[in-house]
Amino acid sequence: DGGITQSPKYLFRKEGQNVTLSCEQNLNHDAMYWYRQDPGQGLRLIYYSQIVNDFQKGDIAEGYSVSREKKESFPLTVTSAQKNPTAFYLCASSPSGQGNTEAFFGQGTRLTVV
């Protein structure tokens, strides 16, 4: 089945640790995205990538890093510099820019700082 897979579903991070969230898609999409979702707020864009080996900062990139070495993979690292990382993280992909086409979302990773 084609789709986009995020792992793990739940992740716990200790203070000062870096953690990496996985996102893989087999839809052959060029564009991939990372969003953060907090209660009562809309999805906020962290990073996006239009093509392999290229990525751009979104609205809340501070404390996060990404890589796009393969078309199907777009991992997100939450670094210790991110002061409030507890949130629901969503990865998405689309054939090109989302404006005129649907985005496909993964099932999300819930990150909690302990």
Partner 1 sequence: SQKIEQNSEALNIQEGKTATLTCNYTNYSPAYLQWYRQDPGRGPVFLLLIRENEKEKRKERLKVTFDTTLKQSLFHITASQPADSATYLCALDPLKYTGGFKTIFGAGTRLFVKA
Minimum CB distance to partner 1 smaller for 30 or for 80: 30
Other C-beta atoms closer than 10 Å to the C-beta of 36 total 23
User: DSSP per residue over 6-22, as a string?
Assistant: EE-SEEEE-TT--EEEE
Minimum CB distance to partner 1 smaller for 17 or for 57: 57
Q: How far is the CB of 2 from partner 1 (least distance, A)?
A: 14
Q: How far is the CB of 106 from partner 1 (least distance, A)?
A: 5
Classify each residue of 43-64 as buried b or exposed e, where b means 16 or more C-beta atoms within 10 Å of its C-beta: bebbbbbeeeeebeebeebeeb
Minimum CB distance to partner 1 smaller for 37 or for 65: 37
Interface contacts to partner 1, rule CB under 8 A: 6, 31, 33, 35, 40-43, 45, 48, 50, 56, 58-59, 88, 90, 92, 96-108, 110
